[in-house]
Amino acid sequence: MRRYQKIIVAIFLISALIGIAWATETIAQSNSDTVGEVLKLIKMYYYNESSVNFETLQDAAINAIIANLGSHFTYYFPPSEASEFNIQTSSQYGGIGTEVTYNATRNAIEVISPMYGSPAEKAGVKSGDLIMSIDGTSVKSLGYANAVDALRGSPGSTVTIVVYRPSDNATMTFKITRAKIELKTVKYTTFEASSVKIGYIRITNFSETTANDFNKAFALLLNDHIQALILDLRNDPGGLFTAALDVASQFLPKGKLIITMRDKNGNEYPFFSYGGLDPKIPVVVLVNHGSASSSEIVSAALRDNHVGVLVGERTFGKAAVQTEFKLSNGGLLLLVTDHYFTPNGQDINLKGIEPDYVVSSGATPTQNESYKALIQSVVMSTQSTAQIDFSDPQVQKAIEILVEEVREGITFPKNLK
């Protein structure tokens, strides 16, 4: 059934792409390409044509079109940004393993933190280091996007960086061998509360590796005899639709409705659980304003099918399905082609999902605390071990609910208090 369903999905997507391609060609034939016409006239007659960057003009034209669509979730990524988007969805790339930002004052790349076990960490690169040049070319002349791209490359290749370390007032050179950097989107652990063994899984985003990693982590926790589970989807912006289907299926019997997709013509395409581990244990899903898209699909599927309760804050509200189109210039267009509806028939777009237990996240962290948390998340980005803040009021509420449900023998909580 699972294979059959995937074939149906593939046929639907192929049909949709053929339809979109036909529509695009029809529009092109019936309407003059005024944007292309203007660019052509500029190239032919504009006095300062030699100084014009036509790629920049093209990007500006596309961005103007997107801005005037009135769509909250349609995006254009120029070629320089398309590769970054692909890294997010694949969760792997070849590089030295650092999270960086641009330091405009020093015209340098500032290292937020090296990732755990990365080539950069092993070489001795530290948080706060300023990368001044890459393979003999200054970051100032490269520009931020090209400099970041220059740090990446095929695993096994080398890159030489010159670094200024403000804390030591020292300049040093590192020759680093690039490696395959695999970002772990699934992190897990176990703990005990009031003699109840609770599993904890956090998903940072839904990428190509998420479903497989989640299935392994969940199976390990169940084999470790957990009695309840916290699924943490806070600040998870979503990602691949197929990964959300796979994760939700692990909690639901085969054939249970996960989501219904509806296109602009009102055609509906339901997606059902493939069937998976289907654990008979209490589940709490943690959500907040940063939980969007695939996170909301999983959250709604578990709650509407009565296999878990939601704790935290109202979710982001993104029920718009984006189809990815690769453009001839190397750019990427994410176009809203469908909306999805929860098993209960709700369109949560721009509304979000109200949790069963509304619990605020507590005090707003200071800028210094936020930066420390960012560094910690970068360090842990290549690790599967989760860290839990037990002082977090949302985590505390989840533990309270699960302990009570285990004691009362509840598996699929239906009667909320």
Is 141 a known active-site residue?
no
| Per-residue tokens: 333 | 């267009």
CA distance 401 to 397: 6
Is 293 a known active-site residue?
yes
Strand partners, 338: 263, 321
Catalytic residue among 184, 256, 318, 397: 318
Tell me the residue type at 258. I
Catalytic residue among 291, 293, 295, 299: 293
Secondary structure of residue 320 in the 3-state scheme: strand
Angle at CA 313, nearest 5°, toward 309 and 319? Answer: 80
In 3D, which of 358, 366, 354 has the Cα closest to residue 300?
354
Q: Are 242 and 294 in contact (CB under 8 A)?
A: no
Strand partners, 182: 92
What letter does residue 343 receive in the DSSP assignment? T
The contacts of residue 318 (CB under 8 Å, 6+ apart) are 72, 73, 238, 292, 293, 296, 349
What letter does residue 239 receive in the DSSP assignment? B
Is 304 a known active-site residue?
yes
CA distance 236 to 202: 9
Give residue 132's region: left, alpha or beta (phi > 0; psi -120 to 50): alpha
E strand or H helix at 87, and its extent? helix 79-90
Only one residue has tokens 């490359």, namely 153
In 3D, which of 226, 207, 204, 234 has the Cα closest to residue 277?
226
Catalytic residue among 304, 338, 381, 397: 304
Q: What is the dihedral sign for C-alpha 78, 82, 88, 92?
A: negative
Residue 254 sits at φ, ψ, to 5 deg, of: -55, 135
Q: What is the dihedral sign for C-alpha 129, 124, 372, 100?
A: positive
Q: What is the dihedral sign for C-alpha 64, 67, 71, 75?
A: positive
Q: Which residues are catalytic?
A: 293, 304, 318
